[in-house]
Amino acid sequence: MKPTDYTIIRSRRRSLELRLYPDRRIEVRVPMRTSEHDISSFIASKSGWLQRRLSALPESAEKPALKFCHGEGHLFLGERYPLSLNIARRSMTVLSDGCIEMLLPVPDDEQRVALQLSRWYRAQAETLYNRIIDQHFGFFAERGHTRPSLRIRSMKSRWGSLSSRGYINLNAELIKTPLRSIEYVVIHELCHLEHMNHGPGFRRLLSQRLPDWEQRKHELNLSPLI
| Residue predicted with more confidence, 204 or 61 | 204
- pLDDT at res. 63: 59
- pLDDT at res. 46: 87
- pLDDT at res. 36: 83
CA dist., res. 117 & res. 107, Å (int): 12
pLDDT tens figures, 208-223 = 999 999 989 888 877 7
Sign for the CA dihedral angle at 141, 131, 224, 29 comes to positive
Intervals of CATH 3.30.2010.10 along the chain: 121-221
CATH for the 121-221 domain, from 3.40.50.300, 3.50.50.60, 3.30.2010.10, 3.10.20.90: 3.30.2010.10
Q: Say if CB 174 and CB 181 are below 8 A apart.
A: yes
- pLDDT at res. 61: 47
Backbone angles phi, psi at 195, to 5 degrees: -135, 110
* Average predicted confidence (pLDDT) for the chain: 89
| Residue predicted with more confidence, 100 or 61 | 100
DSSP 95-108: EETTEEEEEES-TT
Sign for the CA dihedral angle at 111, 28, 177, 22 comes to negative
Percent of the chain residues topping a pLDDT of 70: 92
Indicate whether 178 pLDDT > 70: yes
DSSP 30-97: EETT--HHHHHHHHHHTHHHHHHHHHTS-TTPPPPPPP-STT-EEEETTEEEEEEEEE-SS-EEEEET
Strands 26-31 and 17-20: antiparallel
| Maximum distance among all Cα pairs of the chain, rounded to whole angstroms | 56
How far is CA 170 from each of CA 140, 202, 210, 220, rounded to the nearest angstrom?
A: 18, 19, 18, 14
The band of 225, judged by pLDDT with boundaries at 50, 70 and 90, is low
Instruction: Indicate the SS3 state at residue 113.
Output: helix
- pLDDT at res. 20: 81
pLDDT tens figures, 111-164 = 999 999 999 999 999 999 999 999 999 999 999 999 999 999 998 878 999 998
pLDDT tens figures, 76-108 = 999 999 999 999 999 999 999 899 999 999 988
* Cross-strand pairs, 52: none
- pLDDT at res. 30: 87
